């Protein structure tokens, strides 16, 4: 993967990541609070965060809702077996659907696991997820050689990424 040869974060970035990966302080000046804890200037903390945003090291800064708590009780991971030669073309189309929140190409594990395209679909109930999956099936046509929906039944852990201290 790009950038692996030269790590794109330094020791100071890393300290900022460790200090913020669990969340931002709920105080009027959260970046100042972090700066004070780390003994860094607030301006530098903010500059480094902006740089990490630009570089994609930070995907976004904001609230992370619990799907279940906001009414998306059915969480279906739809998995598809599509021809390798067409997976990128089809993945772009599926990923662009309003109803698909994440779409990835992943390796098959034959013979146990024939699926190479994953599309996350959330709905208020399973009927809504199934309607959205039918939309994907229609879009794939003959290229969708097989699929399943794996519903989540329990969140066992959801802490997000944690760098070691």
Q: Of residues 121-160, which lie at the interface with other proteins (CB under 8 A)?
A: 122, 148, 150-160
Residue 56 to residue 111: CA distance in whole angstroms: 36
CB 138, min distance to other proteins, A: 18
Nearest to 129 by CA among 116, 138, 120, 118: 120
Residue 119 to residue 138: CA distance in whole angstroms: 14
CB 14, min distance to other proteins, A: 8
Footprint on residues 19-48 left by other proteins (CB under 8 A): 20-24, 26-32, 42, 46
The region of 112-120, 129-137, 139-147 touching other proteins under the rule CB under 8 A is 112-120
The region of 93-101, 127-135, 138-146 touching other proteins under the rule CB under 8 A is 93-101
Q: At what angle do helices 126-140 and 87-95 cross, to 10 degrees?
A: 140
83 touching other proteins, by CB under 8 A? no
User: DSSP letter at 4?
Assistant: -
């Amino acid at each position: 993967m790009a950038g692996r040869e030269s790590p794109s974060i330094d020791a100071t970035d890393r300290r900022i990541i460790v200090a913020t990966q669990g969340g931002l302080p709920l105080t009027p000046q959260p970046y100042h609070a972090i700066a004070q804890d780390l003994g860094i200037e607030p301006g530098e903390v903010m500059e480094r965060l902006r740089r990490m945003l630009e570089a994609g090291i930070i995907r976004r800064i904001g609230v992370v809702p619990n799907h279940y708590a906001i009414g998306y009780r059915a969480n279906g991971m739809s998995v598809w077996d599509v021809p390798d030669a067409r997976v990128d073309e089809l993945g772009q189309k599926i990923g662009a659907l309003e109803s698909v929140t994440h779409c990835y190409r992943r390796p098959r594990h034959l013979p146990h696991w024939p699926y190479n395209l994953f599309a996350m679909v959330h709905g208020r109930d399973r009927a809504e997820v199934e309607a959205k999956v039918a939309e994907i099936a229609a879009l794939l046509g003959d290229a969708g050689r097989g699929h399943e929906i794996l519903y989540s039944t329990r969140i066992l852990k959801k802490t997000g990424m944690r760098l070691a201290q």
